[in-house]
Amino acid sequence: GLMFDKASTRTRVSFEVAMGRLGGQTLFLSKADTQMSRDEPVKDTARVLSRYLDVLAVRTYAQALVEEMARWASIPIINALTDMYHPCQILSDLMTVKEKRGTLDNLKVAWIGDGNNVAHSWINAARILGFKLVLACPPAYTPDPVVMKGCGREITLVTDPVEAVQDADIINTDVWASMGQEKERGKRLADFQGFQVNASLVSKAKPDVLIMHCLPAHRSEEISEEVLEGDRSAVFDQAENKMHLHQALLEMLVIGNK
């Protein structure tokens, strides 16, 4: 099952195709069409859906909803993006890095822009795998201190994008206004000036630096057209790898469980 309460192109389609490639079926459930939109409790929904499904991916706003679903469900619950995290994205992004560089060893990743859900999952990945991550964010848009808590010296926060990309193997960015932040868009566009990933910034990194963006992208905002479409850009391979990674994840969670 795929229960989504926010828009999606890549995550939804890649999960559906991945399950089909494994010989399974998917049910897409817009949360608004379920009884959850009429206040059926998460704990009831989770137990009922566990009777029908083998696995459920949830895309929503509150991280607490996914965690409550996981507490009550007897099937695996996959976080398909919340306001706080986007773990599947980083799994497939790391697959892309490994494919392009051969290894995740001695990796330096720069994150430029908003300290958002995707940044939070990069922080978690760096903490688990031990690679170097430097995040350059405007002061009001740094990652949540809850996520930063306990981070070692390998994960650093700066305010200067040029400092962050020095010797970077990967430059990563994402939109300045995420889903649910539409009303802040005007203010954010002003606050993020100077944080665009463009040719001038990329020239300060290693010559073979890989440019990553989970997509959807806003050209001329967080990333220039030239860089997004340039030969260092990995964005469409990232998008493809979501399908392969989701296939592996479903195999592990569903078939591997039986």
Strand pairing category for 132-136 and 155-158: parallel
Q: Residue 207 carries which DSSP code?
A: T
CB of 179 to ligand CP, least distance (A): 8
Contact 141, 115 (CB under 8 A): yes
Taking CB within 5 to 8 Å according to partner kind, which of ligand CP, ligand NVA, none is near residue 78? none
Alpha carbons 165 and 78: distance in angstroms, whole number: 32
Contact region with ligand CP (CB under 6 A), list: 8-16, 130-138, 165-173, 187-195: 8-16
Alpha carbons 55 and 250: distance in angstroms, whole number: 8
Site string for ligand NVA, 21-60 (x = CB under 6 A): ----------------------------------------
Residue 156 in contact with ligand CP, rule: CB under 6 A: no
Contact 158, 164 (CB under 8 A): yes
* Cis amide prior to 161 (ω within 30 degrees): no
Alpha carbons 135 and 164: distance in angstroms, whole number: 6
CB of 226 to ligand CP, least distance (A): 21
Alpha carbons 9 and 1: distance in angstroms, whole number: 16
CB of 4 to ligand NVA, least distance (A): 12
Contact region with ligand NVA (CB under 6 A), list: 22-30, 112-120, 139-147, 186-194: 112-120
Alpha carbons 228 and 224: distance in angstroms, whole number: 6
Question: 3-class SS at 247?
Answer: helix
| Nearest to ligand NVA of 44, 182 (CB atom) | 182
Site string for ligand NVA, 174-213 (x = CB under 6 A): xx--xx----------------------------------
Structure tokens of 250?
């479903």
Residue 222 in contact with ligand NVA, rule: CB under 6 A: no
Residue 214 in contact with ligand NVA, rule: CB under 6 A: yes
Taking CB within 5 to 8 Å according to partner kind, which of ligand CP, ligand NVA, none is near residue 63? none
**Which stretches of the chain bind ligand NVA, using CB under 6 A?**
81, 116-118, 174-175, 178-179, 214
